[in-house]
Amino acid sequence: KEQNLEDKVSDFYSIGTYSCFAVDAEASGNTLKLTSRESVLNQNIPKEEIVPNMLLSGSIRAIEDRYFLVSLGISGASGFLLKQNAEKPEDMRVGRPILAKALSVDKSTHVVHLTTKTDEIRSSKVSSDELLMFSSLRPGMLFSGYVTHILKRGLW
């Protein structure tokens, strides 16, 4: 049974794969139970808050000839990943977790066009004219702002 889990995990991850995880349960001894489910990772992002250049977690829901359908775990929103915008499209499998950058968002249908290209993800930066809720900020997201206070434990 354990070997089957290892085989399944190796279908989705390899050494050096960068992924997002959330703690799914309290630590037990020296282990943590983690999840890469997009519904957990994106739980604080309403569909109206998705903007270009935002980093989103997702998983491959379906594979078509020229594109992948991506589950974002956000009610009313779905992801669309052209194979030409995918890093190693040959490695994609249904259920595989991905980290993607929003290229564009159709505000009427809430379809998010994505890329998983490493260079695109590294350069992800949300522009200052995009209004985001604090809870929509994601690890790896770049933004700029003005320092308004210097505190003992950080900046404001």
Structure tokens at 7: 């085989």
Please tell me which residue, 117 or 155, carries the higher pLDDT value. 117
Question: Coil, strand or helix: which one is 21?
Answer: coil
Q: Return all residues near 33 (Cβ < 8 A) that are at least 6 apart.
A: 23, 24, 25
Structure tokens at 106: 């159709």
Runs of H (alpha helix) within 13-132: 38-41, 118-122
Question: Pick from 154, 61, 69: which is nearest to 112 by CA?
Answer: 69
Please state the rounded mean pLDDT for residues 101-123: 92
Q: pTM for the full model?
A: 0.75
Query: At residue 96, does pLDDT exceed 60?
Result: yes
Rg of the chain (C-alpha set): 17
pLDDT for 124: 75
Q: How do residues 71-95 score in pLDDT, each as one tens digit?
A: 999 999 999 999 999 999 998 999 9
Q: How do residues 44-76 score in pLDDT, each as one tens digit?
A: 889 998 999 888 999 999 999 999 999 999 999
> Rounded to whole angstroms, what are the CA distances from 48 to 75, 110, 128, 134, 138?
10, 8, 17, 14, 16
Structure tokens at 140: 């790896």
Cα separation, 40 vs 37, whole angstroms: 6
Q: Are 101 and 58 in contact (CB under 8 A)?
A: no
Please tell me which residue, 140 or 53, carries the higher pLDDT value. 53
Q: Which residues pair with 115 in a beta bridge?
A: 101
